[in-house]
Amino acid sequence: MSFKQDQAISFYSLPTVQQRLEQVRASISRAAYRARRAPEDIGLLGASKSQPVASIRALAALGVCDFGENFVQETLDKQAELLDLALTWHFIGRVQSNKTRSIAQHFDWVHSVDRLHIAQRLSAQRPAGRPPIDICLQVNIQNEPSKAGLSLEALPAVAHAATELKGVRLRGLMAIPKPSSDPQQQRRPFAQLRAARDQLNAQGLTLDTLSMGMSADIEAAILEGATWVRIGTALFGPRPSRDTGAIASTDGV
């Protein structure tokens, strides 16, 4: 085979956004079927950090309206180019105190609230006239030193206090477990997060959300009750490196 043909074949065999979305939707349906859950009860959130606006547009045209971002400025830049679309923006990155005002103004959800102080700031800084911002508390379910999130021990007091805040609505819990290639191992931390949510509800809270599951563990998360899955690479393809300036490029759609 000549070099030219080789290149052409590998180019045309790259999956499109549409093909990736079909595969992700098929995984969601398969897992929902196994779990005897309605596929509509599992929200698909495109984890679009460092992905180009054109990919978001392509997904929006195919019916994906929820996008999760990790960096505030990157999100504002993207939102400015997507004003014609009715999208729901989720903050899923580490929340710094000095970014809460901007997050409260420009996002609909925050999945990664990891201390009461952040919930209090989001509540106080939510613009008047807008509904409370939906939040999840991030739990560091495996007590990893490098990872954000509340410990299971600290969770109940923070959850009860956050419920009292007027400018936020506590919807549920979020976690990012350690990667594992074993489907049974993958399920364990998700089951623990669900148990923590159920326990809070038994204490009188009304949490309807479990934000858990990424490209590599989507099925395990759905089997354990995920209501939002946050999918990056399986939907967009590999992330362009943040260092190369590729964020603003429109390649790779």
Ligand X SMILES: *Cc1c(COP(=O)(O)O)cnc(C)c1O
Binding residues vs ligand X (CB under 6 A): 47, 49, 70, 92, 176, 214-216, 230-234
Counting every residue written for the chain, the total comes to 253
Least distance (Å) from ligand X to the CB of residue 133? 17
> Cβ closer to ligand X: 158 or 217?
217
**Distance of alpha carbon 101 from the chain centroid:** 20
Distance of closest approach, residue 33 Cβ to ligand X, in angstroms: 21
DSSP H helices in the chain: 3-12, 17-35, 53-61, 72-81, 100-106, 116-125, 155-163, 183-202, 218-223, 233-236
CA distance 236 to 240: 10
Beta carbon nearer to ligand X, 53 or 95? 95
Residue (163 or 233) nearer to ligand X, CB: 233
Determine the residue type at 1: M
Minimum Å distance from CB 153 to ligand X? 22
Helix (H/G/I), strand (E/B), else coil: 63: coil
Minimum CB separation of residue 5 from ligand X in Å reads: 32
Nearer Cβ to ligand X, position 68 or 225?
Answer: 68
Cβ within 8 Å of residue 253, ≥6 positions away: 16, 17, 52, 54, 55, 58
Which single residue brings its beta carbon nearest to ligand X?
232
Least distance between ligand X and beta carbon 11 (Å): 23
Give CA torsion, residues 248, 47, 21, 108, to 10 deg: -100
